[in-house]
């Protein structure tokens, strides 16, 4: 009889809030920062130059400011469409196609404490 009551208590337990899951807050911050960077930088360098109008002016300015400040040789080569750096553009495209959807699902899952996204359980 005690086993049934314990099982019932487990089923009726409320899910832990985000503030009760500090490691999930860390993951949420990580995914959020990388989602923004992937959209603001990687995605713009993946699309052909004529499609830049798809991105808001603010994002285009963020990319140009970042390239000017960092002088990152790989990103500058990707922007110039260098034939020697096609491999890097393929990497940027894979980040755009795979990471952005993953980040969105992971953020949604962490915010909603869904069992579909159990990142922190691998560490605890």
What pLDDT digit, counting tens, does each position of 56-75 carry?
999 999 999 999 999 999 99
pLDDT the model gives residue 88: 94
What pLDDT digit, counting tens, does each position of 35-46 carry?
999 998 999 998
Segment 80-106 mean pLDDT? 93
> pTM of the full predicted structure?
0.74
Distance CA 107, CA 71 (A): 31
What pLDDT digit, counting tens, does each position of 78-92 carry?
999 999 999 999 999
Quickly list DSSP for 52-70: GGGS-HHHHHHHHHHHHHH
Mean pLDDT of all residues belonging to the chain: 84
């Amino acid at each position: 009889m005690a086993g049934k009551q314990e099982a019932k208590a487990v089923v009726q337990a409320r899910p832990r809030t985000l503030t009760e899951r500090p490691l999930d807050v860390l993951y949420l911050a990580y995914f959020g920062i990388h989602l923004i960077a992937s959209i603001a930088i990687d995605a713009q360098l993946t699309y052909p130059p004529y499609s830049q109008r798809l991105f808001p002016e603010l994002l285009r300015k963020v990319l140009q400011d970042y390239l000017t400040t960092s002088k990152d040789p790989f990103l500058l080569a990707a922007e110039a469409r260098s034939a020697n750096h096609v491999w890097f553009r393929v990497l940027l495209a894979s980040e755009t196609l795979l990471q952005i959807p993953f980040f969105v699902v992971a953020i949604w899952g962490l915010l909603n404490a869904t069992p579909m996204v159990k990142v922190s359980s691998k560490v605890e």
